[in-house]
Structure 1
Amino acid sequence: MTFPLLGVLALLAVDGLQAQTPEPPPAAAPAPAAPAEAKPDLPTLQAAARDAEEKMPAPELKPQTYFDLSPVQRERWQQFLPQTLLKLTRRERVQIVVLGDAILDGAKADGGADPLLRSFAGVFAKALASQFYYTGGVRVLRPGSKLRSKESMVMGPEILIQPLRTPSIVSAASALATVGFQGKPDLVIVAHGLEDGMAGTTMEDIMAALSSLRDTARGNRLEMIVAGPPPQAAAPEETSLALTRGATSVMREFCAAEKLLFSDLGDFSRLIVPPAAAREAHLIFPAVMQQYQSRLNIVPAGQIATPTTETHESMGRILFQDVMTGAPGVAWRVSDARVVLAGQGGLKLEFQIANTRREALSLTVLPLVPAGFRLKDAKPEIKLAAGAKETVQVDYTIINTRYLPLSDGRLRLPVLVIAGKESRIHDLVATLQPFGVAWGARAAFNVEKDFAPSIEIENTSGKSLSAAWEVVWGGRKQEGKVALDTNGAETLQLALPLPAEEKAPFRQRLPLNLAVQASGVRQIFDRHIEVVRNFGLKEYVPLGAVDGQASAVTLRADADSMKLFLTFDLTGVDLMDDEAGKGFELLLNLDARSYGQRLAPGATAALRITGKAADGEAQVDEIAPWAFGSGYAAVFDVKEITAKLSSSAAGARRLTITLPKTYLYLHEWALANGNSQIGINARLNGGGRSYFLTRGTRRGDDAESLGVLELTDKPTRRWTVRVE
């Protein structure tokens, strides 16, 4: 800065000298000129410039290490994602694994680019790249794909996103531990719940899967974000909207307890703007639904509606905002939820809604209807003065007790609130009062004579409680009474006898009727229990039909020291090729962990085998590395598994599957030993009908949903028992 100042001061000095030169006297009276002042020399000017520069304030230069992050944003990053923040600020390569289900679908890209770039994950990654100056942008890691991995092939630091899809969160940890770790990931985004919500996956299974994901991520020093799914919008809308909210609620709770970052991608306050023209409650909901339905791709009835490209963009912005600052507030607050059994299948929900603004507020409160419930009565229109609050009451009828809490006693009821241009679905969670029931045993293997379900009656009344109970199982009634202290609980000493007849059906789905009465309230907690007998080698076992009609399809298993053979006799199945040229589809799940591991929770991935209706070799699809159980992590060549459809001289059809023992490398493979077991299920589609070996309410990739094959031709008479 010295030389510019020297120039300025020099010019000022010259001007000053010129201004001090006296004007010449009039011509009539000339006078001698005054002597000119001496011109400053260069050292004098330099000294003056230095003196002026020393008097100027020194510039304050701060190193930019957080790329425009505010202190609040920086603190949030440090709380949830400190390792990722460090790499981003250094502009080092960051790899994000995106675990998801159908939520990954729906976005469309132009010019042969990978559609994941336009999905919520791609939008989020691009926002990170812009925030932290990643000049190379975002690249999709999808091995073997012919799609363009980047929107523009620009050089520079990149953020990498790797999609990893599974049909359920149950198998997400196994997928992460195998395929997800093939690279060097830094961050995991768990975006499940859409398919699980549609399938009715229990909250307990979702919570267990989240715990497994947390352990897998932390064990490998990865950071994790959990993203809740967007709702569905099929008819009836009030039920469809509720399908995914249970999963969202569990995810939010889990993240709060584990100090993980949660983002609700189904937050209506950032997905839609309620139309101003609809003012009355009976008009507002249809208008909101019409707007939201336009943000989903149109699909045939019964299928999952995926988000459109525009909705994916909104979801990506939601995720980025939640990472940077958290979810924005709305003009109201919902709190103090309470759920009370009203007797005769009735249920009452109470909660408070408060106006948090300084002006009056008109709200439309619309309770959504989860599966297993029917809405009886609710007050949809509420007007609140500034700062006022009101208690809202909603009445339901319980129409299917399977949807009551299974183990934690807490019920999850979503409510849609609309006010002006804002709307949001609130997931209300409350413990069932004045009592609840928890099932301690959900699945048991190798049960011989009796099953103990570990049913616990819990006192949630806030005072001492006396309760009477009765259980009916297999036509046999048991009853008793319990006296419970405040917040006390007692486990019923029940032993449910299993089928003893030699010719008892291979699989049965039996009702267990449970009723509890206390404080003048009688409530039923009925559930079904699936009982499946273990089977052995060389034994023909029947496959049931989904339509409930008679089925003659059977499965026989054989094994030697090198291979496992599975033979399906397709008696009565009239195979015909469909429009895609496929005559049948077989989904085969095998849990080939060692005996001790197989009795613990885990996941498999179905082998998908398809073929034409004519005799010949069938096609085996690509096999997931964890296909044969949690802990497996291998690349399996589909050519080593043979599948062939054949016909006998009499016209009987047979499908034979052969698997090498080397693929089941974690199994002890002790032939002629009843404790050397493989978990198994088979689902066959063909001839316009569907067949199954076992069929419960658990997800197909859940290891606890499988039956048991004993690697002996003299199987023990033991059972797999599952509470549904």
Structure 2
Amino acid sequence: MRLFAALLVSLLLFSIFASDVSADYPLTLDQRKRFDQYLPRCFAKLEARDPVHVIGLGDSLMGGYVPIDSSDGEKGNPLYSFSGHFLSQLAREFFYPGGVRLLNPARGLSSKLTDLYGDEITYEDLTIIDGTALDGLRRATTDAFLHEPDLVMVQFGTYDAFQRISIDVFKRSLQEIIDAAKQNKSDIVLFSPGLIHSGQGEIPWGIGRPYAVAAREVAQANGVLFIDIGKHMARKGGGVDPDNHPEAAMEIVGDRIARSFYFGPKMDEKELVHPNFDVQRFLGEVAFQELKDGPPDPLFTVAGIATYENAGLVKAVMSLRNQTNETQQGSVGALAVGGSFLPVDGFQRFSIPANATTQLVFRYARPVVGKTRDGADLLFPIEPGDDFCRLSYFIENSYESRLLDLPVRVGPVTALWKSRQFINVGDRIRIEWDLVNGTDKAISGTFQVGMADRVGEPTNFSVSPLGTKSVFSLFEFKNPAGDVAQFQQDVWIQIDVDGKKIRFTREMEATKDLVLGEQMSMQPWVSYGNASPVGDSRAQIRPPGKAAVRFDADESALYVVAGLKDFDIPDLGDKASLKARLFVDARPMNEVRNFGVVEPIEVYTRGQDGPGTTPSVPLGCFGNGYNMILDPRGITSVLTTGSDGSRLLEIRVPRSYLHRHEWELGSLDSLLGVRLELTVADSRPDAPEPFPSENRFETSSPTFAHEGAAIYGFGVNDARSLSTLRLSRQPVKSWSVQIY
């Protein structure tokens, strides 16, 4: 009897599932065309109900992180994220009764959201906490395709925005992930970052939108499906009574969207990134609907132009078109463009007849973030290597809210830095720019360049309408102090068109190339913190002591020997007192020191003399393509004390771990990229950070810093940010140079 009852319950559940599916199936002809266009490999398997394997490459939003435990779902389980619900809808549509199975779930997490048996879609979670597109590229070149996925879901941008990674680095990383997926014949769905409840300006939602728009551009260029979950989240703002002032209307819209991050009264801090479980389900369902039917019909479309004005202002003129057959009226609010463009008059009211267009004007300020080394105001830099400024706006029409994006070139001319990384620099350095015309008219003017105290004469130029003019300058490269191995200087190009001057300033860092056995002084973090334009108050706290490092190598290993003089390394018992992070780019000669991604080896020691520990060796640690699992015990380290009281940290990395490198000892052309960071622990028991940055020494720093973060520079794991080590003992006078 019990067996009969169990079978009856199973049949009832099966019939319920089948009836749900039948409501959506079969697909229409247009829907079939979309599946065949965007998921050709999966579509054939789905129709045959063959096994389908999916991987998720993204950050914690895709990975299902939520700030607190809840009865509505499981913390850190991607099945409860928008990606898991998206796949559940896919399984339901194509009648996979077993639903979605998460492979190798973390301890305590469910592998399925249903108890039903039958065909399943398998989901492999390769997301990275706080991950950027560079982290995704590392997975794409190591373990992402080991199990031959049919579908790769990609979603980055949130932490690229927080880390201020430049858009050109973000786009290039996404492009190489897509290239890897296509090479492995996997289908791809590219998701935008969600809305982030953080940022500057009176509508604090704009920090991630430039990355969302850039991701869409990459998807369109490659013909892959792009789903903008940020735009779907914006629909949660709803409409506002037309009697409200536009600023009040935008505040109401923002407050409603903010409810997406509400987890109940137990939350101590405001959540900024991860929506609650209900919103995750909503996003997964609407994303799947967009896969089937395409994006919702637009109520409005936008076009526009933007121009630099004096005093760091930028003017944007938006042409807002009503795409409906009814008069539309409501409010528009401008979002900040990261930290570079902050709306000054960001709220407008509109009324547009059916199928008509109106113009709205918005102004943005480029905030002053410090002083250049010659005393001039330094405006928050714009993107160094991308020709678009990506503006975004909330809009509501009394009934619903939407999100509009307006990518524009800023006129009259924007200077893009074509050259941002240089190796083997001698007594000259050639820096190149593209002068991009942001208008539909020919532009003529002059440009002038400068590096530290070396300033060129104004030079005439002209650019065709919406065209590009390549220019360069050959600077004398000289060490300002004569004997230092590392220094920073300002580099700039100034455009003068019809009396309007726009200066584009970056920071240059130069590091002398090292050879085996050569000692290099390490700089305290505050050397970067105190250098203009940084204003971090912690930078006034200078750690005692000095640090230096030398690298050596033989046939069996790479050796790193760091000397610490007058260092007070606290004795914290069994707790770590010293942390070292060693970055090594050990790719082959045709790849090393070029674009790529590395991960640091972390070494911890106690305050007393003795061996250190290396917790793990991440996949791809030594650059793209390092896909072997390496035993961290093979990396040995020891902390000792000399007769003069100085401390010595020695780290040994086996040659076998660097197996992709040619390892031509004695050759000046055999290169590694390297960077070492040493951080002393905070001895206070209630220290907010166990290893604070003000206690750090480093060989170089990939940062053009403001408020403790880089400004559109290289990410810390971008291989181009490292210095050069030559596997020879012959002295050299060459330098590695980065422009941040």
TM-score when normalising by structure 1:
0.84
Would the aligned equivalents of 2:596 and 2:720 in 1 still touch at CA under 8 Å? yes
Q: Which residue of 2 aligns with 1:693?
A: 699
**What are the residue-to-residue correspondences of 1:36-435 with 2, within 5 Å?**
67-103=25-61, 104-107=63-66, 115-142=77-104, 147-166=109-128, 167-234=131-198, 236=200, 238=202, 240-268=204-232, 272-274=236-238, 276=240, 279-296=244-261, 305-330=273-298, 332-370=299-337, 371-399=339-367, 403-435=381-413
The aligned amino acid for 1:542 is S
Distance in 2 (CA, whole Å) between partners of 1:241 and 1:266 is 10
**3-state secondary structure, aligned to 2:226:** strand
Distance in 2 (CA, whole Å) between partners of 1:305 and 1:547 is 30
Q: Which residue of 1 aligns with 2:435?
A: 457
Would the aligned equivalents of 2:65 and 2:76 in 1 still touch at CA under 8 Å? no
The aligned amino acid for 1:559 is A
Distance in 2 (CA, whole Å) between partners of 1:565 and 1:297 is 50
Q: How many angstroms does 1:580 deviate by?
A: 11
Q: How many angstroms does 1:296 deviate by?
A: 2.8
Would the aligned equivalents of 1:192 and 1:229 in 2 still touch at CA under 8 Å? yes
Would the aligned equivalents of 2:424 and 2:736 in 1 still touch at CA under 8 Å? yes
Q: Which residue of 2 aligns with 1:54?
A: none
Distance in 2 (CA, whole Å) between partners of 1:422 and 1:611 is 57
Cα deviation, 1:315-361, whole Å, max 9, x if unaligned, reads: 2223212212222135x313222111224433111111123334433
Would the aligned equivalents of 2:486 and 2:512 in 1 still touch at CA under 8 Å? yes
Q: How many angstroms does 1:155 deviate by?
A: 2.8
Distance in 1 (CA, whole Å) between partners of 2:696 and 2:283 is 37
Q: How many angstroms does 1:303 deviate by?
A: 9.4
**What are the residue-to-residue correspondences of 1:654-693 with 2, within 5 Å?**
654-687=648-681, 688=692, 689-693=695-699
The aligned amino acid for 2:59 is D
Q: How many angstroms does 1:194 deviate by?
A: 0.8
Please list every run of 5 or more consecutive structure 2 residues that lacks an aligned counterpart in the other structure: 1-21, 368-377, 528-541, 682-691, 703-712
Distance in 2 (CA, whole Å) between partners of 1:715 and 1:188 is 48
Closer, same or farther: CA 290–542 of 1 in aligned 2, 3 Å: farther
Name the structure, 1 or 2, with higher relative contact order (CA <8 Å, separation 6+): 2
Distance in 2 (CA, whole Å) between partners of 1:654 and 1:410 is 49
The aligned amino acid for 1:556 is R
Structure 2 residue 724 is matched with structure 1 residue 708: yes
Distance in 2 (CA, whole Å) between partners of 1:123 and 1:143 is 16
Distance in 1 (CA, whole Å) between partners of 2:272 and 2:675 is 25
The aligned amino acid for 2:640 is S
Q: How many angstroms does 1:563 deviate by?
A: 0.9
Q: Which residue of 2 aligns with 1:512?
A: 491
Distance in 1 (CA, whole Å) between partners of 2:604 and 2:276 is 31
Distance in 2 (CA, whole Å) between partners of 1:356 and 1:485 is 33
Distance in 2 (CA, whole Å) between partners of 1:221 and 1:336 is 36
2:446 to 468, 472, 483: 468
Closer, same or farther: CA 273–489 of 1 in aligned 2, 3 Å: closer
Aligned residues: 660
* Percent identity over paired residues: 23
Would the aligned equivalents of 1:114 and 1:150 in 2 still touch at CA under 8 Å? no
Cα deviation, 1:120-160, whole Å, max 9, x if unaligned, reads: 22111111111111112211123775643223454321111
Distance in 1 (CA, whole Å) between partners of 2:36 and 2:254 is 38
* Higher CA-based Rg: 1
**3-state secondary structure, aligned to 2:441:** coil
**3-state secondary structure, aligned to 1:272:** helix
Q: Which residue of 2 aligns with 1:571?
A: 565
Would the aligned equivalents of 1:242 and 1:414 in 2 still touch at CA under 8 Å? yes
Structure 2 residue 508 is matched with structure 1 residue 532: no
Would the aligned equivalents of 1:171 and 1:702 in 2 still touch at CA under 8 Å? no
**3-state secondary structure, aligned to 1:242:** coil
Distance in 2 (CA, whole Å) between partners of 1:263 and 1:196 is 18
**3-state secondary structure, aligned to 2:394:** strand
Would the aligned equivalents of 2:46 and 2:94 in 1 still touch at CA under 8 Å? yes
Closer, same or farther: CA 651–296 of 1 in aligned 2, 3 Å: farther
Distance in 2 (CA, whole Å) between partners of 1:125 and 1:459 is 44
Closer, same or farther: CA 235–487 of 1 in aligned 2, 3 Å: closer
Moved more, 340-349 or 496-505: 496-505
Q: Which residue of 1 aligns with 2:626?
A: 632
Distance in 2 (CA, whole Å) between partners of 1:690 and 1:303 is 30
Closer, same or farther: CA 253–665 of 1 in aligned 2, 3 Å: same
Distance in 1 (CA, whole Å) between partners of 2:183 and 2:191 is 21
The aligned amino acid for 1:375 is P
Would the aligned equivalents of 1:95 and 1:186 in 2 still touch at CA under 8 Å? yes
Q: Which residue of 2 aligns with 1:39?
A: none
Distance in 2 (CA, whole Å) between partners of 1:302 and 1:427 is 26
